[in-house]
Chains A and B, each alone.
Chain A
Amino acid sequence: MSSHDHHTQGHGSGAHHELSFWRHYVFSTDHKVIGVQYGITALCFLFLGFCLMMMMRWQLAYPGQPMPVIGKFFGEAAMPGGIMLPEFYNSLGAMHGTIMVFLGVVPLLVGAFGNYVMPLQIGAPDMAFPKLNMASYWVFAVGGIVMLVSFFVPGGAANSGWTSYAPLSVIATMGQTLWLIGMVFLITSSLLGSVNFIVTIIQLRAKGLSMFRLPFFVWAQLVTAFLLLLAFPPLEAAGVMQLMDRVAGTSFFMPEGLVVSGVPSTVAGGGSPLLWQHLFWFLAHPEVYVLILPALGIVAEIIANNTRKPLWGYRPMVYSAIFLGFMSFIVWAHHMFMTGMGPTISTFFATTTMIISIPSVIILTALVISLYRASIRFTVPMLFALAFLPMFAIGGLTGLPLGLPASDIPLHDTYYVIGHFHYVVAPGTIFGIFAGIYYWYPKVTGRKMNDVLGKIHFWLSFVFINMVFGPMFVQGLAGVSRRLYSQVGYAHGEAVQSWTITSSWGAWLLGLAQIFFIVNFFMSMRAGKKVSDNPWEATTLEWAAPSPPPHGNFTTPPVVYRPPYEYSVPGLAKDYFPQHAAAEA
């Protein structure tokens, strides 16, 4: 990776001392090292989550047929004769969701990009609490390991969906207990991280960097940190209660009079299955904004940089992000319209849902208007950032029929939902992540990723990802339930099975397309073109630091003179005017 010039490029304080290998690369307190640790770990998890899904796609496309080659490796308990068992399918599904959300996307957006870029963008030497930062990563790692171990316990990993609805999850196999324990670690890690982020952003900004001179990415991280801080604890509480139900035989989520497989249940009863759903979605709705806001932040940075003009509507975007944050705490029950909700409550939650759609529209509109009278550079990060916009639009628009209780009736819990939120998180967030990787790679390594490979990666991904998720709307409208091990047992499922096959091929081809990324990612570390500290000619502070930035980040503490996106300022020779430049150089 980045060479050892971490040391030599100068400590702000000049107090030079050698750190051991362990303190430098493993138990480091440097936000950049921690960011890279998060990034590598989370990319591995993202890949794992995707592999689980590619296996599931085989079973969906060719139900009951032995999986070629790979099928043999999973043993009799999961795939006898190479044919996937339903319980294994359910484990894969639940773990795909869990891994993607909690171990892949959030750690990438917050743990990696947030950790690495945010302190640089605010001109800070490090996070406010470097040791806490290290602790966050290691607690996260433990949570991840617990999740991985759960695949190998009797009964396999958790198989009650990433939502873990009780009572199913309470009577489920041992994997669920590990899931809960793993979640407690992941939640704790997020809490530590979010405290650190908020304090850092508020306290450690460089001189002159007022709140409204912050890059939009930093704002997105700030709102995200608040969401994590306040939404996760209720899930922790719920997780503890579910753990009690499973381990101590309590009945928080268990009503009386259950008969499971013909055997009357012995728990005392008196609990409420819906209580779990309320607590879960109280977290999980803000969580979807955690999945999208930082991605919007990345996209905003890249669009400003590649349109060579200031973002249109910076302030409305900031206000929208804050408003989104607030509103996201009072929309949760729109996931529960089909639980027998009466008109009053459903109207309340449908109204808040419609209201929350407005700030998203404003942000998206602002980003598109930013293209007007611009001078658009189609760099690789820009391609991903641009593609993000229509994909996120599809995801957002298809949320409308799901947010109105009446039109939700035929669509709820079908593949329409899967299509909807994947358009937000896959071609949306994942594209945002790719954009961010291509964009900040030169800052981390001092080298650029290869353009041609990047463009191939982009176009193939763009095409295939739509091939994966587009057909899901058709399946969903046809009424095919989600989380089915196979849909061909239903006539209405079999009728649209050909779309499922299309979607599966899309997923595998999408997987192949990632080879271009993986090769590029590793190859460029050694062979990528060496570039200057500011290869994209950007204005924000992270580009004022050397690439890679030394321990302590800036050779001299930066001072900020102007808003974040001063591109194409009239009368200047260069088309960008960095935040830290006192006058044009």
Chain B
Amino acid sequence: MRLWQRRAAVLLAAAAGGVLFARPLLGAEAAAPTTPGVKIDGAYADWRNLWLPPDISQHGHNIDGLIYFLHGFMGVLFVGWGVFFVYCLFRFRQRAGQRADYNLVKAKPSKYAEIAVAIIEAVLLLGFSVPIWASVKNDLPTEAQNPLRVRVLAEQFAWNFHYPGKDGKFGRTAPQFVNTASNPVGLDRSDANAKDDIVSGEMHLPVDRPVICDISSKDVIHSFAVPVLRVKQDAIPGMRIPVWFQATKTGSYEIACAQLCGNNHYSMRAVMVVEPKDRFDHWLEEKSKPPEEFEEE
């Protein structure tokens, strides 16, 4: 490469880097969260956003730790490898007197590096990922821990949250009872257990109490994603899949749909309110009063 070309390259790279990093900072004020309705906690429009959102779950720090470590590991590999790469490009560029060496080097270090990578991957998988996954999937809270059970029923393009009410029992549901406006989950109102059931489009949860969500869908596949909780579970029609978590911080947060589910996939958003026990109980109380317009059915 000639000198001017090298200079031009460096300049270009610097300019691009500048644009890349300056833009979000310049645009930061304009992009302050202005979502209508509830003020959402934990969505930053500043440098903190270069990383994962805040974590308000009990189990999340394990996952975050793993992701931190992984990115550190990736960084080390990339930089180490990149230094060698750039060194070679510079040191062994074609120039007068530079002749390639036909003989191949014995590269012991690379073999060691490959073995090290394999070992670290094995440790990450067996030592960290597997236990975390097992606890997320299998160690559902026991009755003694008094978990709250909520059924999450997805539909195009909304989330329905179905609480069992005071009796702690879910009423019978069936497709033929579904009415998008008045009975979104298809409760059989003749079932005694259904009398006190609560169905809401906003999720309310008590803080510091385990929650088991049974995720399902009425129509297509959706995905129940709560970034601040480090929770994600596909909502698959015909299946009811439990996930559990425990929120540790009160506030209003966002539930997103993470699986393409149709035209309005982008707006399939719900608000999750994590609140102290008394506020939560109060909300349940309010909600279980049957709304007037449903009475005449």
Asked if B129 contacts A312 (CB within 8 A), the reply is no
- The distance from the CB of A499 to the nearest CB of chain B, in whole angstroms, is 5
Chain A hits for B132, CB < 8 A? 406
Interfacial chain B residues near A459, Cβ < 8 Å: 8-9, 12
Q: Are A498 and B52 in contact (CB under 8 A)?
A: no
Contact status B74-A165, CB under 8 Å: no
A459 → chain B closest CB, angstroms: 5
In the complex, chain B residues whose CB is within 8 Å of the CB of A498:
23-24, 26-28, 30-31, 45
Q: Closest CB of chain B to A279's CB: distance in Å? A: 15
Q: Indicate if A131 sits at the interface (CB-CB under 8 A).
A: no
- Is B192 at the interface (CB under 8 A from chain A)? no
Beta-carbon contact of A568 and B34 below 8 Å: no
For residue A455, CB closer than 8 A to chain B, the reply is yes
In the bound assembly, the distance between CA atoms of A86 and B13 in angstroms comes to 36
Q: Is the CB of A354 within 8 A of B122?
A: yes
Residues of B with C-beta under 8 A to A466 = 16, 20
Report the bound CA distance from A291 to B74 in whole Å: 23
Q: Is the CB of A338 within 8 A of B232?
A: yes
Q: Establish whether residues B78 and A397, one from each chain, have CB atoms under 8 Å apart when the complex forms.
A: yes
Query: B178: which of A259, A272, A274 is its contact (CB, 8 Å)?
Result: A259
Which residues of chain A are within 8 angstroms of B27 by Cβ–Cβ distance? 497-498, 501
Residues of B within 8 A of A409 (CB): 63, 136, 230-232
Q: Which of B49, B70, B269 contacts A478 (CB 8 A)?
A: B49
A406 touches B31 (CB 8 A): no
Whose C-beta in chain B lies nearest to the C-beta of A402?
B70
Given contacts A393-B78, A404-B66, A413-B223, contact A481 B237 (CB under 8 A): no
- From A85, A259, A342, A481, contact of B225 by CB (8 A): A481
Min Cβ gap B137→A in Å is 6
The contact string, 1 if C-beta is below 8 Å from chain A, for chain B 36-47, is 000010111100
A260-B219, A393-B78, A405-B133 given; A273·B236 CB < 8 A: yes
Known A-B contacts A340-B239, A498-B28; A371 and B263 likewise in contact (beta carbons under 8 Å): no
| A273-B237, A494-B34, A495-B44 as given contacts; A413 in contact with B20, CB under 8 Å | no
Distance to closest chain A CB from B212 (angstroms): 14
Compute how far the CA of A308 lies from the CA of B122 in the bound complex, rounded to whole angstroms.
37
Q: Which of A140-154 touch B at CB < 8 Å?
A: none
B175→A401 contact, CB < 8 A: no
Scan A324-344; emit 1 where CB is below 8 A from any B CB, else 0.
Answer: 000000000000001110110
Which one of B82-90, B162-170, B289-297 contacts A? B82-90
Check if B122 sits within 8 Å of A492, measured CB to CB: no
Stretch in contact with the other chain, from A20-28, A38-46, A434-442, A483-491: A483-491
The answer to the question of B274 belonging to the interface, with a C-beta cut-off of 8 Å to chain A, is no
A527 within 8 A of B: no
* Residues in A327-376 with C-beta less than 8 Å from chain B: 338-340, 342-343, 346-347, 350-351, 354, 357-358, 361-362, 365, 368-369, 371-376
A346 → B minimal CB distance (Å): 6
| CB of B279 within 8 Å of the partner chain | no
User: Does residue A307 face the partner (Cβ distance < 8 Å to B)?
Assistant: yes
Decide: B100 and A374 in contact? CB cutoff 8 A.
yes
- A interface footprint on B165-202 (CB within 8 Å = 1, 0 otherwise): 00000000011101110000010000000000000000
A257 to B239 CA separation, bound complex (whole angstroms)? 11
CA distance A159 to B137 in the complex (A): 32
B74 touches A338 (CB 8 A): no
CB of B99 within 8 A of CB of A369, answer: no
Chain A residues within an 8 Å CB radius of B257: 481
Stretch at the interface among A116-124, A178-186, A467-475, A536-544: A467-475
Question: Given A274-B236, A376-B92, A400-B74, is A410 in contact with B227 using a C-beta cutoff of 8 Å?
Answer: yes
Min Cβ gap A8→B in Å is: 37
Chain B positions within 8 Å of A308 at CB level = 94, 99-100
Shortest CB-to-CB span from A453 to chain B, Å, is 13
Shortest Cβ distance from A566 into B: residue: B102
Is B134 at the interface (CB under 8 A from chain A)?
yes
Question: A475-519 CB contact bits vs B (8 Å, 1 = yes)?
Answer: 001110111111111111011111101100100000000000000
Q: In the complex, are the beta carbons of B107 and A369 less than 8 A apart?
A: yes
Scan B94-128; emit 1 where CB is below 8 A from any A CB, else 0.
10001111101101001001100110011011001
From B252, which residue of chain A is reached at the shortest CB distance? Answer: A491
A86: chain B residues at CB < 8 Å are 263-266
Residues of B with C-beta under 8 A to A373: 92, 100-101, 105
Name the A residues within 8 Å of B236 (CB-CB). 273-274, 339-340
**Pairwise interchain contact B102-A309, C-beta atoms closer than 8 A:** yes
**Pair A374/B43 contact, Cβ less than 8 Å:** no
**Is A340 a contact partner of B234 (Cβ separation < 8 A)?**
yes
A275 to B254 Cα, complex, angstroms:
31
A576 to B12, CA, bound (A): 35
Q: B24 touching A371 by the CB < 8 A rule?
A: no
Set A159, A264, A310, A397: member contacting B175, Cβ < 8 A: A264
Which residue of chain B has its CB nearest to the CB of A456? B8
Task: Please give, as numbers and ranges, the residues of chain A lying within 8 Å of B8 by CB-CB distance.
Answer: 459
Question: Which of B26, B178, B231, B269 makes the CB contact (< 8 A) with A262?
Answer: B178
- Tell me if A268 is interfacial: C-beta within 8 Å of chain B: no
Known contacts A258-B218, A369-B107, A407-B63: A569-B102 contact under CB 8 Å: yes
A564 to chain B: closest CB distance in Å? 14
- Known contacts A165-B260, A354-B122; is-contact A361 B114 (Cβ 8 Å): yes
| B110: A residues at CB distance < 8 A | 365, 369
User: With an 8 A cutoff between CB atoms, is A195 at the interface?
Assistant: no
What is the CA–CA distance of A340 and B188 in the complex, to the nearest angstrom? 28
| 28 A-B contact pairs sorted by A residue (CB < 8 Å) | A85-B263, A165-B260, A168-B221, A168-B261, A260-B218, A261-B219, A262-B179, A273-B238, A307-B100, A343-B134, A343-B137, A347-B133, A372-B92, A375-B93, A397-B77, A404-B128, A407-B129, A412-B232, A413-B225, A459-B12, A460-B12, A478-B49, A479-B53, A481-B223, A490-B256, A494-B31, A499-B24, A501-B23
A interface residues, Cβ below 8 angstroms from B: 85-87, 90, 159-161, 165, 167-168, 171, 255-262, 264, 269, 272-274, 307-310, 312-313, 338-340, 342-343, 346-347, 350-351, 354, 357-358, 361-362, 365, 368-369, 371-378, 386, 389-390, 393-394, 397-398, 400-401, 404-407, 409-414, 455, 459-460, 463-464, 466-467, 470-471, 474, 477-479, 481-492, 494-499, 501-502, 505, 567-570, 575
Report the 6 A-B pairs with minimum CB-CB distance, sorted nearest first. A255-B238, A479-B227, A498-B27, A491-B40, A340-B241, A371-B88
